[in-house]
Amino acid sequence: MADLKPIVPSFVVQEEGSRKVLVYLNIPELKVKRTFPNFIKQIPINGEQRILNFQNQSFTFTLNIQTKNKETKIYSLSIARLPGEIQPERCSIKYQRGGCWITLNKTERMSWMNRICDDLTPGLDIQENDNQNTEVSAPVEDIQLRNTNMPAPFNLVPLAPPPPPSQTPTALNSQA
């Protein structure tokens, strides 16, 4: 087997409340299936999670994917320094067709978005690897934006793809 270069997946970072940060990784070739007996949880069927390591202020993720052509692609993202500390034991990952959600639970109630977007403060320090492939994880396409009711330029954020159509939406606002 030839020495494969990891692909850095395109990703979207979104804060959810004051204690949670969601990171969506775009992995177009990823296929999932529901687990037994927990039919809500999904696991990769054409991939194998090699590394998922959370530290106090960093995380590393690596996933091997088997494509239709029987090629192996390695998707890897290593964040060497996050804008704040996280609780590694409370962080998690959820897979869906075409990507995955990494949930980071912050230790302090502070916004990371200002730090991520500000040139003067350290944002997401993506660890560079000379062995990484320069190939992008997905073709460039128009991105849907959603209004977050925050001041510009943070008011519009890219939307991650919706969950697979096989999931039934829950009736959260059924109260009249």
DSSP 76-123: EEEEEE-SS-B-GGG-EEEEETTEEEEEEEBSS---SHHHHH-SSS--
Q: In 10 A of CB 33, how many CB atoms?
A: 12
Q: Cα-atom radius of gyration of the chain, to the nearest Å? A: 17
Residue 147 to residue 133: CA distance in whole angstroms: 33
Q: How do residues 115-157 score in pLDDT, each as one tens digit?
A: 766 655 555 666 655 555 545 444 444 445 555 555 544 445 5
pLDDT at site 170: 47
Q: Domains of the chain: which residue ranges?
A: 11-158
Overall fold of domain 11-158: Immunoglobulin-like (2.60.40)
* DSSP character string of 14-54: EEETTTEEEEEEE-TT--EEE-SS-SS-EEESSEEEEEEEE
Distance of alpha carbon 46 from alpha carbon 33, whole angstroms:
10
Q: What is the pLDDT of residues 155-164, one digit of tens each?
A: 455 555 555 5
Average pLDDT over residues 19-43: 87
Judged against a pLDDT cut of 50, whether residue 51 lies above it is answered with yes
**Residue 92 phi, psi (nearest 5):** -150, 175
